[in-house]
Structure 1
Amino acid sequence: MTLRDIFEGKKKWRAHVARVKALPREYQTVYAEIQKYLFKAGPAEVTEGNDLLAGILDLFEEGAGMGKGVLEVTGRDVAAFCDDLIKESSL
Structure 2
Amino acid sequence: MSGVEKSGFISKVIGPKKRWWAYKARVKELPENYRAAVEAIERYLMLFVPIDEDSTASMFEDLADLFEQAAVDGTPIREVVGEDPVEFVEAFVENYSEGGYVPARERKRLTGAIERAAG
Query: Which bin holds the TM-score, normalised by the shorter protein?
Result: 0.7 to 0.9
Structure 2 residue 81 is the aligned partner of structure 1 residue 81: no
45 and 20 in structure 1: CA distance in 2 versus 1, 3 angstrom threshold: farther
For 1:68, the equivalent position in structure 2 comes to 75
Q: Which amino acid in 2 is paired with 1:62?
A: Q
For 1:44, the equivalent position in structure 2 comes to 50
Structure 1 residue 70 displacement after superposition: 1.5
Contact 1:43 1:89 in 2 (8 A): no
The number of equivalent residue pairs is: 82
Normalising by structure 1, report the TM-score.
0.76
17 and 90 in structure 1: CA distance in 2 versus 1, 3 angstrom threshold: closer
Q: 2 CA distance for matches of 1:32 and 1:38?
A: 10
Contact 1:74 1:81 in 2 (8 A): yes
Give % identity. 33
SS across alignment from 1:89: coil
Higher relative contact order (CA 8 A, sep 6+): 2
For 1:59, the equivalent position in structure 2 comes to 66
Which consecutive residues of structure 1, in runs of 5 or more, have no partner in the other structure? 1-5
Which consecutive residues of structure 2, in runs of 5 or more, have no partner in the other structure? 1-10, 99-119
Structure 1 residue 88 displacement after superposition: 2.9
Normalising by structure 2, report the TM-score.
0.60
Deviations 1:19-63 (A, max 9, x none): 0011111111111111111111x23147x3311111111011111
Q: 1 CA distance for matches of 2:77 and 2:31?
A: 9
For 1:28, the equivalent position in structure 2 comes to 35
